[in-house]
C-alpha cells in the first residue's frame, strides 16, 4: 500500500535519489527552443543578413537598401500583427487583405467622392475595418463557423464590396488628401530616408507586444487559444475575447490600409493582393503556432523581415524570382516542423 514499498518492489534502494540521465543534445535544443521560441527566427534573420552582405556587399547593407526592405515589409508586418492576434486564438483570418483594401476604398470614396474632411474619412475607414472584423468575430462566436470558413467567405464579400464601391477604379495620388499619403513621406536618419509608415509599424508592434504581455486581455487571448474549454471553465468569457480579437484585427488592417496608400501612392481595389498569404507566412516563420496559444508579435516582425530580406537579397543577387518563392516555402515548412517538434516537449 505504501509508496516506499512499491518503489522497493521495483528494485530501487530506499533513500537513493531518483537520478535522471542528462538530456541528450537534441532534447536540450528542443527545450531551449521551447523556452525561447524567438531564437529560431532571429538566427535565420541574422544568418540571412550575413550571407547576403558577404554575397552582395554594400549594395545590400547600405542604409538606403535596408530602409527599402523595411518599407517593403511594413504592410505585411502591420497586417501580420492582426494575423498574429487571430492565430494566437487558434483561428486564422483569410480576409485581412480584403479588409485592408476595402477600408482604403471607403476612406477614398468619402474623401474624394463625397468631400468629407480627410481625417474624418480616414477614421471612417478605420471604423469600417473594425466593423468588418466584428462580422468575422460574430460569425466565429455566435454562429460557430470555423474561422477558416468564416473568413474565406468574408474575404470574397469584402473583396466584392471593394470592387462595387470603387467601381473598379483607381483613385490617383494627385487626387488624394495629403494626410492619406503621409505614411509614405520620408525623413532622414542614419543616412537613409525612412518613411513615417515604417516607424508607425514598429510602434504598433511594440504596443501590441506590450498589451499581449502585460494586460489581462492579453493573458486571456493566449489562454483562449491554448485551451478553449479550459479557458471557459476558468470563467474567461471566451466569446468576448474572440470577438474583440477579430474587431481589433480588423482595425489594425484598416490602419495597414492607410500605410498601404502611403506606400503605393494611390488607392486601387487591386493592390495588396499578396498580403493575405504573406501575413500568414510572416506569422508562421516568426514561430507563432497555428494551433494557438503560443507565439509572439516580435516573431512576426522577424518573420516579415526574413521574407523582406530574402526577396531583396535574392533579387540583388540576380537570382530567379521563383527561387525566392521556393526559399520562403522551405522556411514556412521548416518553421511549422520546428513548432510541431518543440510542442512535444515534456510529452
Partner 1 sequence: MTSPGRGPVPAAKTVTAPDRGSLPVLVARGLTKRYGHVTALGGTDLTLRRQEVLAVIGDNGAGKSTLIKCLSGAVVPDEGTIEVDGRQVAFRGPLDARAAGIETVYQHLAIAPARDIAANLYLGRELRRKGFAGWGLRLLDRKAMRANTRELLDSLGLLTIQSLDQAAETLSGGQRQGIAVARAAAFGSRVVIMDEPTAALGVKESRKVLDLILEIKNRGIPVILISHDMPHVFEVADRIHIQRLGRRIACVPTADITMPEAVALMTGASQPGPEHIQD
Q: Which residues bind partner 1 (CB under 8 A)?
A: 1-4, 6-7, 31, 34-35, 214-217, 219-220, 222-223, 226-227, 229-236, 293-294, 343, 345-346
- Which residue intervals of 57-117 are DSSP H helices? 58-61, 63-88, 96-108
As measured in angstroms, the least distance from the Cβ of 346 to partner 1 is: 4
The residue among 25 and 347 lying less far from partner 1, judged by its C-beta, is 347
C-alpha cell at 90: 487558434
As measured in angstroms, the least distance from the Cβ of 327 to partner 1 is: 29
As measured in angstroms, the least distance from the Cβ of 340 to partner 1 is: 14
The residue among 113 and 230 lying less far from partner 1, judged by its C-beta, is 230
The residue among 17 and 115 lying less far from partner 1, judged by its C-beta, is 17
The torsion region of residue 91 among left (phi > 0), alpha (psi -120 to 50) and beta comes to beta
DSSP string covering 239-291: HHHHHHHHHHHHHHHHHHHHHHHHHHSSB-TTTTTTHHHHHHHHHHHTT--TT
| Rounded distance between C-alpha atoms, residue 196 and residue 186, angstroms | 6
Which residues touch 11 (CB under 8 Å, ≥6 apart)? none
As measured in angstroms, the least distance from the Cβ of 3 to partner 1 is: 5
The residue among 2 and 188 lying less far from partner 1, judged by its C-beta, is 2
Element (H, E) at 52: helix 39-56
As measured in angstroms, the least distance from the Cβ of 204 to partner 1 is: 18
| Rounded distance between C-alpha atoms, residue 259 and residue 254, angstroms | 9
The residue among 193 and 226 lying less far from partner 1, judged by its C-beta, is 226
As measured in angstroms, the least distance from the Cβ of 36 to partner 1 is: 11
The residue among 183 and 299 lying less far from partner 1, judged by its C-beta, is 299
As measured in angstroms, the least distance from the Cβ of 210 to partner 1 is: 10
Contact 109, 268 (CB under 8 A): no
Q: How many residues does the chain have?
A: 347
As measured in angstroms, the least distance from the Cβ of 151 to partner 1 is: 24
The residue among 6 and 164 lying less far from partner 1, judged by its C-beta, is 6
The residue among 27 and 330 lying less far from partner 1, judged by its C-beta, is 27
The CA distances from residue 166 to 160, 161, 201, 314, in Å, are 10, 8, 27, 36
C-alpha cell at 342: 518543440
DSSP string covering 292-323: SS---HHHHHHHHHHHHHHHHHHHHTT--HHH
Amino acid at each position: 500500500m505504501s509508496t516506499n514499498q512499491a518503489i522497493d518492489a521495483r528494485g530501487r534502494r530506499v533513500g537513493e535519489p531518483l537520478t535522471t540521465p542528462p538530456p541528450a543534445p537534441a532534447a536540450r535544443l528542443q527545450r531551449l527552443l521551447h523556452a525561447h521560441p524567438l531564437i529560431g527566427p532571429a538566427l535565420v534573420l541574422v544568418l540571412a543578413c550575413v550571407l547576403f552582405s558577404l554575397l552582395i556587399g554594400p549594395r545590400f547593407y547600405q542604409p538606403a537598401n535596408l530602409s527599402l526592405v523595411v518599407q517593403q515589409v511594413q504592410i505585411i508586418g502591420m497586417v501580420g500583427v492582426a494575423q498574429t492576434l487571430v492565430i494566437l486564438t487558434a483561428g486564422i483570418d483569410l480576409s485581412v487583405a480584403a479588409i485592408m483594401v476595402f477600408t482604403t476604398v471607403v476612406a477614398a470614396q468619402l474623401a474624394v467622392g463625397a468631400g468629407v474632411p480627410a481625417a474624418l474619412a480616414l477614421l471612417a475607414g478605420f471604423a469600417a475595418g473594425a466593423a468588418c472584423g466584428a462580422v468575422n468575430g460574430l460569425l466565429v462566436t455566435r454562429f460557430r463557423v470555423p474561422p477558416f470558413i468564416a473568413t474565406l467567405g468574408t474575404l470574397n464579400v469584402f473583396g466584392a464590396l471593394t470592387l462595387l464601391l470603387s467601381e473598379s477604379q483607381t483613385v490617383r495620388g494627385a487626387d488624394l488628401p495629403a494626410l492619406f499619403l503621409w505614411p509614405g513621406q520620408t525623413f532622414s536618419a542614419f543616412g537613409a530616408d525612412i518613411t513615417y509608415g515604417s516607424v508607425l509599424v514598429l510602434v504598433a508592434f511594440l504596443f501590441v507586444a506590450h498589451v499581449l504581455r502585460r494586460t489581462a486581455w492579453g493573458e486571456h487571448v493566449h489562454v483562449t487559444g491554448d485551451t478553449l474549454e479550459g479557458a471557459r471553465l476558468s470563467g474567461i468569457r471566451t466569446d468576448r475575447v474572440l470577438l474583440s480579437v477579430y474587431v481589433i484585427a480588423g482595425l489594425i488592417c484598416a490602419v495597414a490600409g492607410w500605410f498601404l496608400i502611403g506606400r503605393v501612392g494611390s488607392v486601387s481595389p487591386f493592390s495588396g493582393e499578396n498580403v493575405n498569404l504573406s501575413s500568414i507566412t510572416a506569422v508562421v516563420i516568426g514561430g507563432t503556432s497555428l494551433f494557438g496559444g503560443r507565439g509572439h508579435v516580435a516573431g512576426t516582425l522577424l518573420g516579415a523581415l526574413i521574407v523582406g530580406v530574402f526577396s531583396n537579397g535574392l533579387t540583388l543577387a540576380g537570382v530567379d524570382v521563383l527561387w525566392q518563392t521556393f526559399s520562403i516555402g522551405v522556411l514556412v515548412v521548416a518553421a511549422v516542423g520546428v513548432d510541431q517538434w518543440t510542442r512535444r516537449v515534456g510529452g
